Amino acid sequence: MKDVNFEEITLRMDVSRRGGGGIEIDFSSLGYPGEKMTAYQNYLGGGMLGSIGSSNTINAREKFVEESLQKDIDKIKRTERTLDCIILVKNFIKQEKK
């Protein structure tokens, strides 16, 4: 992987001394046009930091594509089973006519 200059790809940075805030980076220059990642940390108050979380559009899109492909595969399998049934019925009708 090439060296990444995070200053160049940072879209938003909201960080405070007390904690909390977040950062958003653009993945376009890394080969993922239009994709972003966000990392953030909750601030619970009283100097206590909460959990660190992150999200990105790449994984969400991959999951969507995967689910869509699975639906297409299921549809193809149903169509194949239907065609198999039609062929069986046609063959049965041919046999009955003999």
Q: Could you report the per-residue pLDDT of 25-60, keeping only the tens digit for each? A: 888 888 888 888 888 877 776 666 676 777 777 766
Tokens for 98?
Answer: 């003999």
- The per-residue pLDDT for range 51-90, each reduced to its tens digit, is 677 777 776 666 766 777 788 788 888 888 888 888 888 8
Phi first, then psi: what are they for 88, rounded to 5°? -60, -45
Average pLDDT, the chain: 77
Q: In the chain, what are the domain boundaries?
A: 6-97
DSSP-assigned letters across all residues of 27-88 = -GGGT-TT-EEEEEEEEEETTEEEEEEEEEHHHHHHHHHHHHHHHHHHHHHHHHHHHHHHHH
Entry pTM: 0.48
Q: How far apart are the first and last CA of the chain?
A: 69
